[in-house]
Amino acid sequence: MKTDSLLGGIEAGGTKFVCAIGHPPDDIHAVERFPTTTPEETISRAVDFFRSQPQLPDSIGIATFGPADVRPDSETYGFITSTPKSGWSNTDLAGRIARELQRPVAFDTDVNGAAVGEYLWGAGQGTQNLLYLTIGTGFGGGALVNGQPVHGLVHPEMGHLFLPRAEGDNYEGNCPFHGACLEGMVAGPAIQAHWGTPAEALPPDHIAWSFVAHYLSFAVTNMILILSPERVIMGGGVMQQEHLFPAIHSRVQSHLNGYVKAKELIDQIDQYIVPPGLGSRAGVLGAMALTL
Ligand code: ADP
Ligand code: ZN
């Protein structure tokens, strides 16, 4: 899918913002990255980026870190809500962008944005029901059902699932809310806190990775059972460990034990649980995709 409209995207991350303008996925006219500082300064830089372009975009998509209010009928729609990120609680991110640039704004979580981007242009093409997971500083999950991002009371929080403990793993986990939830065991900072070594420095044969594969495979299995996605995309820094993919494939098949009758699970799991197709551009393309 290519668009005639000139689109803007803001990937609003906890550590950096990425702004882009153009006709995605291929014709991107300009991209700018800057660190996330105060809301005042950061949002102004995003506004300045779009004002400095020859033409303002027709509409702007914001894919944001959370928690965020993504319910259009809510009084605080478009706000970052109760984030631990200093200064950002109760920030009207979408409203301010819309007012300053006088353009329609689409607003969703970073992972729902990435899911929509992958659905339109990346590894999710050809599906209508899709799961996008990222394992990095945290664990984020976005889901599309019938091509639409899933919202609910707030938005899904798949990173905080409770899972059976791996045999021999005594780590208490580092989620401030739940200890040994999924994110508390497999996100990069949890791996580092457990082993005293950054995740990227652990060799592929380290037992840490069999624990990570254990938790990720149970998480993905449960998600497959609940949502019946047509594809599962797994990205983020931790999934740079490519050996995790085959380890997850075989464990998911073993947990399901042939119960779900789908050739994608039984014969083609290496094409079913896959890395993102949009690589490092997934975030900002996902933001642009939200406008569509
Ligand atoms: P973010 O979550 O902030 O968007 P990333 O997805 O890059 O960013 O995640 C950063 C986390 O991923 C860090 O905790 C880091 O230790 C971990 N990480 C980055 N690269 C690798 C790698 N090659 N192998 C394992 N872990 C990695
Ligand atoms: Zn948790």
**For residue 3, what pLDDT band results from cuts at 50, 70 and 90?**
low
Name which residue sits closest to atom 9 of ligand 1, judged by CA. Answer: 136
**φ, ψ for residue 234, nearest 5 deg:** -125, 120
Beta bridge partners of 141: 133
> Which structure tokens are listed for 159?
């990173």
pLDDT at 76: 97
Dihedral sign from CA coordinates of 244, 247, 250, 256? negative
**φ, ψ for residue 232, nearest 5 deg:** -125, 120
* CB burial of residue 50 (10 Å; 0-12, 13-18, 19+): buried
Q: Which atom of ligand 1 is nearest to the CA of 192?
A: 16
pLDDT tens per residue, range 15-36: 899 999 999 999 999 999 999 9
**For residue 249, what pLDDT band results from cuts at 50, 70 and 90?**
very high
pLDDT tens per residue, range 33-47: 999 999 999 999 999
pLDDT at 154: 85
Mean pLDDT of the chain: 96
**For residue 86, what pLDDT band results from cuts at 50, 70 and 90?**
confident
pLDDT at 149: 93
Q: Which residues line ligand 1 (CB under 6 A)?
A: 13, 15, 136-137, 188-189, 198-200, 236-238, 240-241
Helices (H), 58-106: 93-101
Place of tokens 């094409």: 271
**For residue 2, what pLDDT band results from cuts at 50, 70 and 90?**
low
CB 118 within 8 A of CB 142: no
Name which residue sits closest to atom 15 of ligand 1, judged by CA. Answer: 188
pLDDT at 215: 98
Q: What separation in angstroms does the CA of 239 have from each of 23, 117, 129, 131?
A: 29, 19, 22, 15
Query: How far is the centre of ligand 1, averaged over its atoms, from the C-alpha of 123 (Å)?
Result: 20
Tell me the pTM.
0.94
> Which structure tokens are listed for 146?
């019938």
CB 233 within 8 A of CB 111: no
Name which residue sits closest to atom 7 of ligand 1, judged by CA. Answer: 237
